[in-house]
Chain A
Amino acid sequence: MNTLIIFNATAKRARFLKNRIKNQLRLLDIEGRFVEVHKKGEATKIVSSALDKNITSIIAIGGDGLIHDIVQQIVGTHITLAIIPIGKTNLLAHMLGIHDWKTGCLTLKNGEQAAIDVGSIDDHYFTSSVEIAPKIEPKKTLIARMTQKEVGKFYPGTISVSSDQNDFSIQTDIASISISPHPFKKGGISFDFLADQLLHIMVKSRPVGTHKRPVNSIIQGNKITVDTKGSLTIWADGEQIGKTPATITVIPEGLRVVRKKG
């Protein structure tokens, strides 16, 4: 096995955990080329240059930012991604049942491989969600973003959705849109369906009647086009990537990962 180990030296707990994780990997007989990254986008370049060196797996030691950089290069390849979460937000790790760095290390030995759906927007891949909203800095975690106070502005828009069976469009006054390759549930996204080959869309619209809070709609499809009167900002996995209009597609089982067994 040809493994690349990428350590985000700027992650929240990097300094504290670096040697402990290295020791743990040694105890578990896990070997690989150990590379430290210090700034955003560096991991993308490292993975890109390593693609022709027959790497079979990448161990990402960091948070969602590091995962995002790595995923851009390995979607659709044979490379398996394993995660040791030490970041501020570690959503994909949590989705895979890995809630701390020790579990991350043990999962390298005892875990199982799985393929999960990922989303694509303008050649940009995302594993947890795309947020489309007026330009305010969203809170960092998906759960916080989904529950944060609304800004109170609404933008008339059209959302076109298509899949093998479906072809429909929605007209509504949009407050925000969340799109994920995984189903929504109370307080976040579900960890149960890692590969249902659908994008799940939650639209928050202008409230009607006596309602004070925006109205939620939840729909599914393979391909979604969002067009709004007035541009809304798009974030993919917390990174700002552009503005509407945009087309988002699902890549079924586009990412190979290691997850906790059971």
Chain B
Amino acid sequence: MSQVVHAETIVGEGVALSGRLEAKHNIQINGTFVGEIVAEGDVVVGVEGEVDAPIHARNATIAGTVNGDVNVVSELEILSTGKVFGNISAKTLSIKPGGILSGSSIMHGKTDDQNIVKPTFET
């Protein structure tokens, strides 16, 4: 068991969760999730994680697959194994080589003209 100093939600690999999940802390999805995720903390979708839901969070790191919009207050990171099929909004966005974003992106703190970024595909 990993050490959990502060309250944290962890959905383990192979575990299926459905519904609305709202938390004041961090959420880590290593299994499958269908519904809606709202976190005041960070959301991590692990390599084996499959999320079919919109995500609202402070920061998000995607190493698995997300089918849904991802709205974060600060930073969205899509790792090399990560796939996001949906629109995203974030202050900063980073996509590692191999990561996929299929959808439009809106960057906070930019002018309206700069806000809309055309759908990006990166492999």
Q: Which residue of chain B has its CB nearest to the CB of A208?
A: B14
Chain A residues closer than 8 Å to B21, beta-carbon distance? 166, 168
Chain B residues closer than 8 Å to A211, beta-carbon distance? 13
- From residue B46, how far is it (CB to closest CB) to chain A in Å? 11
**A113 adjacent to chain B (CB < 8 Å):** no
**A50 adjacent to chain B (CB < 8 Å):** no
- From residue A69, how far is it (CB to closest CB) to chain B in Å? 30
Bound: A48/B5 CA distance, A? 38
Number of interface residues of A (CB under 8 A): 33
**A205 adjacent to chain B (CB < 8 Å):** yes
**B2 adjacent to chain A (CB < 8 Å):** yes
- From residue A142, how far is it (CB to closest CB) to chain B in Å? 13
Bound: A223/B56 CA distance, A? 24
Verify B14–A215 contact, CB threshold 8 A. yes
Verify A218–B14 contact, CB threshold 8 A. no
7 sampled A-B residue pairs with Cβ under 8 A: A166-B20, A171-B18, A184-B1, A209-B48, A218-B9, A219-B9, A219-B17
Q: Which residue of chain A has its CB nearest to the CB of B16?
A: A171
* A113-132 at interface with B (beta carbon < 8 Å): none
Bound: A206/B20 CA distance, A? 24
Verify A166–B7 contact, CB threshold 8 A. no
Verify B9–A220 contact, CB threshold 8 A. yes
* B12 in complex: contacting residue of A183, A184, A203, CB < 8 Å: A203
- From residue A2, how far is it (CB to closest CB) to chain B in Å? 38
Chain B residues closer than 8 Å to A217, beta-carbon distance? 10-12, 15, 31
Verify B7–A183 contact, CB threshold 8 A. yes
Verify B20–A215 contact, CB threshold 8 A. no
**A4 adjacent to chain B (CB < 8 Å):** no
Shortest 5 CB-CB distances between A and B: which pairs? A168-B19, A215-B12, A208-B14, A165-B22, A186-B3
Which one of A12-20, A89-97, A103-111, A190-198 is at the interface?
Answer: A190-198
Verify B4–A183 contact, CB threshold 8 A. yes
Q: Known contacts A216-B10, A217-B10, A219-B9: does B4 contact A172 (CB below 8 Å)?
A: no
Verify B1–A168 contact, CB threshold 8 A. no
